[in-house]
């Protein structure tokens, strides 16, 4: 970025985005005291974690340990605990379901078809998420519109028909440059895989570094078409309609 662009990003983040994010988190907790954030432990979610700590809202954070995450990703759980004093709740897939799927289809069946890949994602991610969201009335994610073709219409909030509760995407409007300015300016710890060419991080076998000029999610399920690159956690992205509720 040019010096002028850097100045613009700095102004947008410090004067607009960050104060609005803190106020947003406080409003979410006021409206939904049992809300929780799903963290992938990647850049966006670390910015949200930093904001949660700064907002002093006590918003809960959980993550899904699929059993196939990079060691660097799992290491961020300890980083969050040490830096913020926040215990991230961990949800794991049912071991019997994982074993049955592997026995029936093989350990790397996700390369064979979108259906088999999504079946693996359902066992390792969607079902644990269902348990994480059980009895909650709202959840938060670090998704951004800029990230993927499946997220261009991402609302900042709305009812999540997939899981039957309210959903917030507080970083929906943030740009890549704004996320990384916040990380550097506020000293937010981040997954070291980002420095190794991973702008988007998922399971180890299903994620690769991106090449120069590639889309930020090109490294996720790289053998598939761009319009199929969701795992089921955010299946309602295209259909979710923002709703203003009175609370």
Closest CA to 124 of 99, 90, 94, 100: 94
The encoded tokens of residue 105 equal 């289809």
Catalytic residue among 121, 203, 206, 231: 231
203 is catalytic: no
Strand partners, 229: none
| DSSP, residue by residue, 89-158 | EEE---HHHHHHHHHHH-TTGGGT-HHHHHHHHIIIIIHHHHHHHTT-SEEE----GGG-GGGTT--SEE
The encoded tokens of residue 140 equal 């938060």
Are residues 126 and 100 in contact, defined by beta-carbon separation less than 8 angstroms?
Answer: no
The encoded tokens of residue 127 equal 């079902």
Are residues 201 and 73 in contact, defined by beta-carbon separation less than 8 angstroms?
Answer: yes
Confidence of residue 235 (pLDDT cuts 50, 70, 90): low
Q: Where are the domains of the chain?
A: 3-228
Range name among 62-76, 113-127, 163-177, 212-226 with the lowest pLDDT average: 212-226
Burial class (CB in 10 A: 0-12, 13-18, 19+), 173: middle
Confidence of residue 238 (pLDDT cuts 50, 70, 90): very low
pLDDT score of 240 more than 60 = no
Q: How far apart are CA 76 and CA 63, in angstroms?
A: 11
Give pLDDT tens digits for 86-106: 999 999 999 999 999 999 999
Confidence of residue 213 (pLDDT cuts 50, 70, 90): confident
pLDDT at position 228 is 53
H helix or E strand, kind and range, residue 178: helix 176-186
Tally the residues of the chain.
247
Cα–Cα distance list, 41 to 96, 136, 186, 213 (Å): 26, 21, 17, 24
Q: In this structure, what are the phi and psi dihedrals at residue 44, rounded to the nearest 5 degrees?
A: -60, -45
Whole-prediction pTM: 0.86
Q: Which fold has domain 3-228?
A: Rossmann fold (3.40.50)
Q: How far apart are CA 183 and CA 190, in angstroms?
A: 8
């Amino acid at each position: 970025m040019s010096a002028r662009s850097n100045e613009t990003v700095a102004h947008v983040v410090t004067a607009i985005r960050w104060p609005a994010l803190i106020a947003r988190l406080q409003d979410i907790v006021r409206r939904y005291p049992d809300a929780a954030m799903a963290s992938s432990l990647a850049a966006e979610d670390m910015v949200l974690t930093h904001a949660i700590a700064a907002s002093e809202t006590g918003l809960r954070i959980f993550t899904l340990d699929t059993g196939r995450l990079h060691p660097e990703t799992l290491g961020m759980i300890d980083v969050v605990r040490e830096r913020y004093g926040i215990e991230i709740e961990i949800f794991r897939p049912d071991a019997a379901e994982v074993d049955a799927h592997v026995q029936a289809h093989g350990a790397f069946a996700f390369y064979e078809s979108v259906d088999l890949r999504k079946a693996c994602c359902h066992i390792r991610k969607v079902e644990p998420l269902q348990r994480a969201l059980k009895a909650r009335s709202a959840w938060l994610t670090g998704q951004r519109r800029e990230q993927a073709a499946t997220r261009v219409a991402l609302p900042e909030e709305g009812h999540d028909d997939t899981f039957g509760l309210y959903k917030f995407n507080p970083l929906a409007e943030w740009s890549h440059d704004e996320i990384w300015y916040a990380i550097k300016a506020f000293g937010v710890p981040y997954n070291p895989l980002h420095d190794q060419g991973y702008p988007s991080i998922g399971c180890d076998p299903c994620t690769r570094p991106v090449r120069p000029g590639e889309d930020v999610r090109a490294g996720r399920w790289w053998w598939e078409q761009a319009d199929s690159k969701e795992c089921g956690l955010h299946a309602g992205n295209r259909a979710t309609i923002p709703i203003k509720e009175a609370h």
